Structure 1
Amino acid sequence: MAVIEETQRRGTLLAIEEVNERGGVNGREIVPVFYDPASELSSFGRYAKQLLIADDVTMIFGCYTSSSRKAVLPVVERLNGLLWYPTLYEGFEFSPNVIYTGAAPNQNSVALCQHLIKSYGRRFYFIGSDYIYPHESNRIMREAIQKHGGDVVGETYLSLHARRRDFLPVMREIRELQPDAIFSTVVGDATIYLYQSFADANLNPKTTPIASLTTTETEIRAMGFDVGEHHITAAPYFQNLESDSNRIFVNSYKKKYGDDEPTNMCAEAAYFQMHIFAKALEATNSMDPDILRPMVLGSNFDAPQGRISINPLSNHTDLWTRIGRANRLGQFDLVHQSFAPVQADPFLTAY
């Protein structure tokens, strides 16, 4: 998971640096305590407990996979910590001990389904990594596809440790089934191998794209711009958005980490959630989750993606819905975006 988790770490540290350069919070610096679970699920819960007990930390920023979040969740609930979770996920969860700043299914899956059916056709093939998020996301996407008269013609899951050769039989099956679009919930390094295998099989992304909720500018860079071109991603944020807040974010990120390092939706969420935390801490002057949380809920922030707010009904974030098509420069050209932030509905009550 390092390919994407590293960008979340970078977004977090950039925001901390900006807060500290402005004098910190009420005259005090934010000092991060950092542990690297190295993509090992068992380490997430263990480090969360260490942070909350041994390190006397009350706020945890991190986790990418839903499995890692699920490992940390009982720890923060039992010890009354607050997890800030900057990753899109499968929804159908609420905890008073989590602030969810990534997209819920109604903010990405629903619009992506409608766009794919309208632009490419009704026959879908599902491929995912074998853990919680892909299975649940595919369940939601299947229901959306069927609701719009579509069909899932194939579905397969591969290990999080899948290598390039593991995708060869998948490409043969896709060629035989001839779906109109491929919905991918593959994550981490395996994402790179999926797209490269697609290109090796000479499949055409112009007519049968891989559509994803997780493939960002960072994975496109790793797989090769030519490999990623024409494939589709739904996300609240893309690097090439035109706004003053995004230009500041992108310039600061590249100045700190290198001109060839792209931003992405996970780095952006990690970045803005730290700024929201700093604002709430300034107002409350307390690291007690029970005191700080009410100040966070209902708060607004001019994030790089646009103005967002933490929805007090669900602890989720009202985010923008966007769909992009990857171009030869490794960026995404917008093909759809909402007119305003979409209210988080993690239980799909309105769909």
Structure 2
Amino acid sequence: MKRTPICSGIVSTLLAVWMGFSASTVHAAEDTIKVGILHSLSGTMAISESILKDTVLMLIADQNKKGGLLGKKLEPVVVDPASNWDAFAEKARDLLTKENVAVVFGCWTSASRKSVLPVFEQSNGLLFYPVQYEGEESSRNVFYTGAAPSQQAIPAARYLMSKEGGEIRRWVLLGTDYIYPRTTNRILSAFLAAEGVSPEEITTIYTPFGHSDWREIVSRIKSISEGKRTGVISTINGDANTHFYRELMAQNVSASAVPVMALSVGERELLDVGATGLAGQLAAWNYFQSVKSPENDIFVKMWADFNAQRDKMTNDPMEATFIGFRMWAQAVSQAGTVDVNAVRQAMYGQRVKAPSGFEVVMNTNHHLSKPAMIGKLNSSGTFDVVWRSINPIKASVWSRYLPESAKRTADWTFPWVCGGCTEPTFKDW
């Protein structure tokens, strides 16, 4: 087939346009450092996640006031996966391959984190995940700044078993039906068995996301509690919490009768419920707004000032976002680049004096050493800290209560690269 020559003038013009476009794109990329924000701003998880988007925006604005990083301003890139787990993966891919963000702060549920994990690993992206989760995962592309079960679920159960916690002997493990509650409850059941609790004294109940009719379940909990001191450990997520706590009040289930220990709800999710009938109910986190520390005073004021005093309420995932962002900024400054491989290595050993009042450190298992705390809801709708660990607790990524995990190790120290092996494995980078 005869080829038709292309006019050299057209080629020159197209080349000039392309080079100009490329130059402007590179120039724009060099002017700012893009920061991805991957949180649900609509759907069932928006009640919890949307505030974390604003937290990252606050931290970016604060960093830019200080001159940004490496002489460049930070530019937020916000997307809304709308509580759709498949959409999380699509939005993550766009952030990494189209927007070319240097880092992403995002996800709440483990379903969303599992959805994006292959995307970050394939593209060698960097995700900071700020919410408590079930453990049993180790990725070199994720830094987990929320709690593992050894830093939240296990201390929560130990507290309920203690005299201060009510000496609970019968258990209801109540959760939303997805990986975090199911895996956490497997770990809790194994822990309780190790403590001498018989399987007959453990009831596990799951409901869908957004579940709103809790009448039968709350009636069942009341029936289970007859005759023996009973407690609930709740891994309910999202706006279903509002309906659950309202039903507790409707059926006059008080904390003195059946204490509920929440692992994924705080003051913000209970704003519209009314705290008077819930006073005494419990939550296990690594931070509460009521913590007394100079660092917390600064954090709460920073948040209130950012939103012009319209909202002065902080919570644990906000603090975990704060810690992750500060550590990332420190690591970038130390590495002198936003290159993922360099920043990852610089992250190990990063320390931040957190609003919790504790100095927290990032370990080579990509998890923090951080304190555990138990809060009790008061009549004004805030949690008072009634127990805290003496020192920060190093996260156990793989639970020693699960036989398949007990011998596993997570350690991403170069050159020993091991996400979940029983023996350290060398990989030649």
TM-score, normalised by the number of residues in structure 2? 0.79
Which residue is 1:282 aligned to?
A: 333
Superposed displacement of residue 256, structure 1: 2.0
Which residue is 1:298 aligned to?
A: 349
Identity of matched residues, %: 33
Matched, 1:150 2:197: yes
1:212-267 deviation per Cα after TM superposition (whole angstroms, max 9, x unaligned): 11111211223222243211111110001111111000011122233544100011
What are the within-5 Å matches in structure 2 for residues 210-249 of structure 1?
210-249=260-299
Which residue is 1:60 aligned to?
A: 104
Matched, 1:6 2:50: yes
Alpha-carbon distance in 1 for matches of 2:344, 2:305: 33
Superposed displacement of residue 15, structure 1: 1.3
Give the SS at the match of 2:78: coil
2:361 to 290, 293, 309: 309
State whether residues 7 and 263 of structure 1, in contact with CA within 8 Å, keep that contact through their aligned partners in structure 2: no
State whether residues 122 and 149 of structure 1, in contact with CA within 8 Å, keep that contact through their aligned partners in structure 2: no
1:143-183 deviation per Cα after TM superposition (whole angstroms, max 9, x unaligned): 122222235442211110211xx211101111211161111
1:45 to 89, 93, 114: 89
Q: Which runs of 5+ in 2 are unaligned?
A: 1-44, 407-429
Alpha-carbon distance in 1 for matches of 2:329, 2:244: 39
State whether residues 328 and 347 of structure 2, in contact with CA within 8 Å, keep that contact through their aligned partners in structure 1: yes
Superposed displacement of residue 106, structure 1: 0.4
State whether residues 9 and 270 of structure 1, in contact with CA within 8 Å, keep that contact through their aligned partners in structure 2: no
Alpha-carbon distance in 1 for matches of 2:302, 2:242: 27
Structure 2: which amino acid aligns with 1:98?
V
Alpha-carbon distance in 2 for matches of 1:335, 1:132: 29
Greater RCO (Cα-Cα under 8 Å, separation 6 or more): 1
What are the within-5 Å matches in structure 2 for residues 88-237 of structure 1?
88-118=132-162, 119-120=165-166, 121-151=168-198, 152-163=201-212, 166-178=213-225, 180-237=230-287
Which residue is 1:323 aligned to?
A: 374
Which residue is 1:348 aligned to?
A: 399
1:38-58 deviation per Cα after TM superposition (whole angstroms, max 9, x unaligned): 111111000111111111123
Give the SS at the match of 1:176: helix
Superposed displacement of residue 272, structure 1: 1.8
Give the SS at the match of 2:240: helix
Alpha-carbon distance in 1 for matches of 2:343, 2:363: 15
State whether residues 129 and 185 of structure 1, in contact with CA within 8 Å, keep that contact through their aligned partners in structure 2: yes
Give the SS at the match of 1:78: helix
Give the SS at the match of 1:270: helix
Superposed displacement of residue 347, structure 1: 1.0
Alpha-carbon distance in 2 for matches of 1:18, 1:297: 24
1:172-224 deviation per Cα after TM superposition (whole angstroms, max 9, x unaligned): 11121116111111010001111111111111212311111111121122322
Alpha-carbon distance in 2 for matches of 1:260, 1:328: 19
Give the SS at the match of 1:30: strand
What are the within-5 Å matches in structure 2 for residues 247-262 of structure 1?
247-257=297-307, 258-262=309-313
Structure of larger gyration radius? 2
> What RMSD, in angstroms, separates the aligned Cα atoms of the two structures?
1.5
Range with bigger deviation, 118-127 or 78-87? 118-127
Structure 1: which amino acid aligns with 2:100?
D
State whether residues 235 and 323 of structure 1, in contact with CA within 8 Å, keep that contact through their aligned partners in structure 2: yes
Range with bigger deviation, 277-286 or 126-135? 277-286
Aligned residues: 348
Alpha-carbon distance in 2 for matches of 1:210, 1:150: 18
Superposed displacement of residue 16, structure 1: 1.2
Give the SS at the match of 2:254: coil
Structure 2: which amino acid aligns with 1:316?
H
